[in-house]
Structure 1
């Protein structure tokens, strides 16, 4: 993710900030401008404060703004433009929250805390979706498979648990995954190297984009050649995976043990790692990071990965960067931040994902 700065005082801002800790102004993210703005109330709307670093003749005013309706619950810091005569815009929700269909019962305080963490992860996902110009049909757009989120809590009166997954455009995330202790317990029990809330979003949206970019595109046969035939019985594959585990030598062909279960899961895991790579490389580029761990493990991350046409360059920067990140984590007594390797077969799959994504992403203006 890029670095944001307060236009009033120049302080560095995190994507989740709602107040500038240096000058105290309210903050909101305007996605169509990709800007974090310091704002002040102006009657029923908000106005961006002047950019202290911009010459007066180059200053841009985004006009009247409104916060997402979920801002009122401290669950969103995104804004949208307030068009004349439209009240508070389309249902009052931002570009990310318009995709919500179901949220947990917010009269339960514990649900509110977990839901706000869920929304923060979703906004990180949607930042990538917007930056990569991926299709994101809205629920009321008439599209046969709009992008929809459901955040569901377990019913305390039932033994059945909510399952995180995707079906026909609907991405369901179990609310319990926002509980760090519960999620870490599940990770340990299932022998996973990595399990995060954002990782769930990136994985499940991978299933969604398989439908739109592979199944409904012209890439089905090429995808099968790399990932396998998705027509293989999923229930049988799942049972075999949990009964027998990943096959011996899987590390040479797959990015994770879970990816070995079924071609759909191999695709979704690879897609999630592609989003991990692109977002983290953008952050590294914004920070001006360089890695020099020897001739074959050197990287100067100085380009926007969203606009890169060369998957090889992304992977070439990613490998030494993950070495650096893991080394730094170990220096703090933590486990590896990125506990994965990228053998040649996985790199080929990542290139395939990259090429599909780039079809959605036009060349930047000269």
Structure 2
């Protein structure tokens, strides 16, 4: 995630800012330019000006702007939300706001990587949409499950409650469980359909991840009944990735987005595991050589950075912030994700499943 500057006074801004702490100017994120813009709230209903999203004006949960050329009422991010919870229920606004905040971080990554991003309104067949739903209060209905189906990503708003999420993480024996992680994983399923299925990438995919034509329901049932293979760490980024090739791809895709965004943030703050020459503030805030770097450069920076992050956490008495170990097979899969995203030739690779 890059850092930003106030157009009025040059004050440093962050992705979620709505006002400049120095000059007080109203700020919003412009997804077209991936930058923060100053806007006038008085022009909220005037086409031809940057305008606040309706969810910002009515509920106060969004900081994305509608560009001057658009007559839309909602920003790009909020237009992707097809279903939202009943905001009349106490606590729902806060949980929904947390989901929308993390969704905007996902969309920032997708936009910065120049991945195709269209809504269901634009493309009812291949467009992307989100459903944020709550379990029925009487408990008679089935629980809302996290998942992806044909471009629609569903999240249970209970995942936005840190107490519930931590309890689920412990129950599932997961080392890592976050809202953003869910979004990145489910987006991986969507982009598999968009970029891999029925493409020239399908055979290299099967060579690395396995044959996705095996029965998905049976594979998940087997995973839940007997668990992953004993040596799963040699081939998969997580235990859940071993359940089925689709889940392996989604977990690997999510991990790649973790890498790119974290390296982006580290660079913006001048963090490095090796010294680099001092640069001007303008260059430091608005460029990142790793964003479009080759995969070998990314992984060479990523591995020592995660070791440093874990060590910093230990110094504060916390567990690993990065509870993963990347084998050669996993790195090869990550390289394939990188190649597909950037339109590069896919390395020959080796069969790992």
Same fold, judged at TM 0.5 (above): yes
1:76 equivalenced with 2:62 (yes/no): yes
SS of equivalent to 1:172: strand
1:11-160 map, 5 Å? 11-44=11-44, 64-72=49-57, 73-83=59-69, 89-90=71-72, 92-142=73-123, 144-157=125-138, 158-160=140-142
Show the counterpart of 2:244.
262
Specify which structure has the higher proportion of strand.
1
CA contact (8 A) 2:29 2:65 kept: yes
Count of matched residue pairs: 331
Contiguous gaps of at least 5 residues in structure 2: 276-286, 345-353
1:330 equivalenced with 2:311 (yes/no): no
Deviates more, 1:315-324 or 1:11-20: 11-20
TM-aligned CA deviation for residue 230 of structure 1: 0.7
Show the counterpart of 2:263.
281
TM-aligned CA deviation for residue 217 of structure 1: 2.5
Runs of 4+ in 1 over 6 A off after TM superposition: none
TM-aligned CA deviation for residue 221 of structure 1: 1.2
Change (3 A) 1:267 1:45: same
> How high is the TM-score relative to the length of structure 1?
0.86
Change (3 A) 1:77 1:232: same
CA contact (8 A) 1:45 1:65 kept: no
1:183 equivalenced with 2:165 (yes/no): yes
TM-aligned CA deviation for residue 291 of structure 1: 0.6
Please give the per-residue CA displacement for 1:91-138, whole angstroms capped at 9, x wherever unaligned. x11121221111111112311000000000000000011111111122
Show the counterpart of 2:5.
5
Aligned CA RMSD, in angstroms, stands at: 1.9
Contiguous gaps of at least 5 residues in structure 1: 48-62, 294-301, 361-366
